[in-house]
Amino acid sequence: MFKKNYIIIPLITILVALLGGWFSGLGMSWYNNNLVQPNITPPNWAFPVAWNIIFILSTIAAILVYNSLVKKNKNLAIGLFVANAILNVGWSLLFFTLHLIGLALIEMIILWLVLLAQLIINWRIGKWSSVLLWPYWLWVSFATYLTYLINILN
């Protein structure tokens, strides 16, 4: 059965990907040419690969939550999905476009906490909707550490 969330949730994800990519693109030259990079920095090609996988898994997780028959925590889970989307784009804006590494690090920690809350709430609604977000949480954990190192080095 077709549901409107099969269109709306992927559109939100695409919007996040496009905005985040746009903000990142604005600062890519600065990132590559002006920043001291830690040794653990992945090659540039790894970022879009990781994010495409994360966006697909996050979209599926959100659809599973939205379609769940479990009413308890459902609105909170959808609210966390939206907060996550805003924070995701916000980090790219702060870091790449505005070059505010320290503020981007603080924002990333908030994103990490929101994502952790999302994992917990989704687990209560449907375990797969949480498991699908684990790669995202691991990536954000790594990216937070990477941002911390970049902040120290620059």
Tell me the pLDDT band of 2, cut-offs 50, 70 and 90.
confident
CB 17 within 8 A of CB 90: no
CATH number, domain containing residue 19: 1.20.1260.100
Residue numbers of the domain that contains 47: 5-153
> For the chain, how many structural domains are there in total?
1
pLDDT tens sequence across 23-59: 999 999 999 999 999 999 999 999 999 999 999 999 9
pLDDT tens sequence across 63-95: 999 998 778 888 899 999 999 999 999 999 999
Q: Which of 88, 90, 141 is nearest to 116 (CA)?
A: 141
pLDDT tens sequence across 109-136: 999 999 999 999 999 999 999 999 999 9
